[in-house]
Amino acid sequence: MEKLWGQDKRAYALAIVLLATVLLVAGCGTAPARSQSAAQLPAASGSSAASGQSAASGSSATSGQPAASGSSAASGPPTASGPQSTAPIWLDSLQMTSPSTGWALRWTQNPAVANGGYLAPARTVDGARTWTSVTPPAIRALLATPGATVVLQAFDGERAWLAVTAAATDGSPTHLTDVFATVNGGRTWTTSAPLKVSGYTVFLSFAGPEHGWLLMADGVAMGQEPVQLYRTGDAGLRWSLAARTPKAGTESTGLPVGCDKAALAFATASVGYISNACNLLSGALLVSRDGGVHWAPQTLPVPATSCGDGCQVSGPQFVGPTAFLVIDRAPEAPYFLVSPDLGVTWRSEPLPSGAGEDPRVQFFSPLSGMLVSAGPQGAIGHVFYTTADGGQTWTAVPQGRFFTQLGTSFDFVTARTGFAWAAGADAQGSSPPAMYQTTDSGRTWTAFTPQLAA
């Protein structure tokens, strides 16, 4: 959810780590919002061709015929038999599920110098050094549709979901959305029953391997964003409408049309949250306790006047029943809130003075966490912080490298091991941006250039 660790705040969100995944499979929590790769929507509601391309979606070609519901398509990644040739890769999102294994959306061409590229899924098993395309032919036509929006959510090293909306090319108010799922690292994908609705894919959230939610939006116009929320109970094969923002003559489910929707995070099959960018604190965080059918503002232990100049809620991120939430309210200091009981009660914990106006907080257990300090416009600080007591105290970690490029993102999988990267769309020239890895909380960083196995 989800501030996305340095990218567009709509794509937050919050980290899939192996410990959290173990808790999820036990039915204790959901993947934190960071795991979502959010699609960028068209600027105006009802547009028939959404660009959504510059930061989080793809472009070019026709949608083609979707695969039948429940069918399986093989992506055919190359097998490891001797040396393989490689090619440059430009990443648009990064979701590492362990120090070695992770998922990403990549550009099929250098987005800085070429038109006609689109976003496609890729997977790594060697710490982000080498990536393998895991895009089956049945998905490529949808991904390449002009104005397509794409969302990837990784559950663990083997399981992931990919939602794709192919914008209508005939002026129709409805668009085709398919959700693809893999349980074997992208070697094969199953296809959902198609959704033909007005919205574009924005966020995915799964609370375990079976129960998931898909947030669709019609676009943002004049501070309003109509949305529809769909849910599945069979791992993404079939989706049904759970809630939507009200239309004239319809009953409200509590989803407001106002505020920009920033993240979606479900902790269990019943409890979920939608965070928003709002001018009022009362609309910044919504909670559902009936599986997404009804929504209400979440009461938080901060002054009601805290969002005088607007608030951005990052999270919540769940590790089991424990939830972590950051409320950015620049230029004022942010709030950091912790809940031990799926958001029923919250307490405020102090952040270190060097956290900055826009800190990126990520937890790997109810106790262990990492804070990347950041200031105005996402400028990265020179000191990060770790906690071993759930955010009650923080330890400063002076950084061995200063990240000066605006838009630099961070994806930690433990309090010690993490990755720094920049979006391929920010690349200059013909080479993709370098990536960096740390195994000591940032005291030292090792640079490398990721490659795509040809």
User: Do residues 295 and 270 lie in contact, with contact meaning Cβ atoms separated by under 8 Å?
Assistant: no
Percent of the chain with pLDDT over 70: 80
Identify the CA nearest to 204 among candidates 144, 164, 260.
164
**The residue to which tokens 């407001």 are assigned:** 256
Give the tens place of pLDDT for each residue, 132-162. 999 988 889 899 998 899 999 999 999 999 9
Asked whether residue 12 carries a pLDDT value surpassing 60, the answer given is no
Give residue 38's pLDDT band: very low, low, confident or very high (50, 70, 90).
low
Give the tens place of pLDDT for each residue, 390-425. 999 999 999 999 999 888 999 999 999 999 999 888
How far apart, in whole angstroms, are the C-alpha atoms of residue 98 and residue 254? 37
Structural domain boundaries in the chain = 9-75+84-453
Question: Which residues, at least 6 apart from 325, have a Cβ–Cβ distance to it below 8 Å?
Answer: 285, 300, 313, 314, 315, 316, 317, 336, 337, 338, 339, 346
How far apart, in whole angstroms, are the C-alpha atoms of residue 357 and residue 309? 13
Residue 323: predicted pLDDT: 98
Give residue 21's pLDDT band: very low, low, confident or very high (50, 70, 90).
very low
Q: Which amino acid is at 81?
A: S
Residue 225: predicted pLDDT: 87
Give the tens place of pLDDT for each residue, 52-103. 333 333 222 223 333 334 556 666 544 444 566 899 999 999 999 999 999 9
The radius of gyration of the chain from alpha carbons, rounded to an integer in Å, stands at 20
Residue 136: predicted pLDDT: 82
Whole-number mean pLDDT of the chain? Answer: 83
The pTM score is 0.82
The CATH-assigned architecture of domain 9-75+84-453 is 7 Propeller (2.130)
**The residue to which tokens 């120090």 are assigned:** 99
**The residue to which tokens 């091991």 are assigned:** 417
Higher-pLDDT residue of 50, 190: 190
